[in-house]
Amino acid sequence: MQTFDFDLFVIGGGSGGVRAARMAAQRGVRVALAEVSAMGGTCVNVGCIPKKLYSYAAHYADSFEESHGFGWVGEAPRLDWEALKANRAREISRLNGVYNHLLKSSGVQIIEDWATLTGKHTVEVAGKSYSAKNILIATGGTPTVPEVPGREHAITSNEIFDLSPFPRRLLVVGGGYIACEFASIFNGLGAQVTQLYRGEQILRGFDADVRAFIAGEMAKTGVTLHLNTDVAAIERSDDGLNVRLRDGSVILADTVLYATGREPLTGGLGLDAAGVAVNDAGAIQVNAHYQTSVSSIYAVGDVTARLQLTPVALGEAMVVVDHLFGPQAGKKPRRMSYDFIPTAVFTHPNIGTVGYTEDEACDKFGQISVFRSDFRALRHTLSGSTERTLIKLLVDDASDRVVGLHMVGPDAGEVVQGFAVAMKAGATKAIFDSTIGIHPTLAEEFVTMREPVRR
């Protein structure tokens, strides 16, 4: 019988990799994890966590201004960009330590260097070879910049957190959630923000009402949005960066942020040597158990390019661990469902969504009822802000089940998370209608809408 150095060798110390390594080790198997960079992956270091911290920071300027309507007097303090960066870096460093501690205390052997597959059961790290019965690839993804003349002058979301000096004029290229979030964040922090998108409306793939509504709200706060155009070239001048557009116009910026997409991080992993198949987009192909074309090698998270969300990577990791080593005592093996996965976009205001868009619901269910409300929140009757809130429900007429729920407003992610549980359980519109709302809140509107705006 063949013996191995490890039962599981994990490549990548992001959310999925750390979860898989830790939970597998807790089942008593031998686990190693290789990571060449800071522990925690994109989410902890240059993604979800620092982005949300900066989003919090960006809200304070509006909050100070709005406080006057509630009787508070005085001038708002100015932003100390260097202090914000330092505080964020300290918190991220703390989280890196937490991840390392969780792994080591679970018995995981951490190997700090780049790992390369050399066979179906072998990995090489820093010139040393290791064998493992099973290997899990969880290397995530990385932002990309298209082949545009002057692309070397642009940055990505990896570099945005530590810019020096603060960009007074920021051009954001892209229309996805990352682009919209950073446009909102830096606008709130005090930058003059222009967002450029080659499509007809930002946030492709989201509900059409949500897309139009958030575009309007972002514009009200000061973000200048240019649609149906793209960058032709970027040139450096004494005044900054001259960004020439395809329509011939020029935008002057201090920083150009490209947020036009991410690709699976598979380069240098030795996939060919091991015989691991990838699709046309370069993502690792997996089956229902996240097993690649090589039976001993698995992959989860962004490297498979299914749904690029941290909680999805965590869920997939648990499926792999249960599949390989069995579930925890008294529990059933985990299964991963991609239906009704909630998500949030931390624009200003936030977006929270779960389930189908209106177009998707029409295509899938045929007859649906649309409930929609657009209103000014109670808070803003005194704040002076013109911000409005949008909420929307989509109901399958045949079953009465709520199949889509969307919100644009403060703390939308927090609100929608709770409703996602109800929708996952199959809640109907009748159940929504019979639920008593909490008054006065924004969320109560979800259970008080009685008449559809259209069918």
- Residue found by looking up tokens 């155009």 in the block: 229
C-beta of residue 35 within 8 angstroms of C-beta of residue 13? yes
Contact (CB, 8 A) for 354 and 194: no
Q: How far apart are CA 28 and CA 23, in angstroms?
A: 9
State the DSSP H helix or E strand holding residue 64, giving kind and residue range, or none if neither. helix 48-66
Cis peptide, bond prior to residue 440, ω within 30 of zero? yes
Radius of gyration of the chain (CA): 24
Cβ–Cβ < 8 Å for 343, 309: yes
State both tokens at 97.
């330590």
How many C-beta atoms lie closer than 10 Å to residue 258's C-beta? Answer: 24
**Long-range contacts (CB closer than 8 Å, 24 or more residues apart) made by 370-373:** 370/394, 370/395, 370/452, 370/453, 370/454, 370/455, 371/395, 371/429, 371/449, 371/451, 371/452, 371/453, 372/209, 372/449, 372/453, 373/445, 373/449
Percent helix, percent strand, percent coil in the chain, to nearest 5 = 35, 25, 40
Amino acid making up residue 394: L
Q: Which residues are catalytic?
A: 439
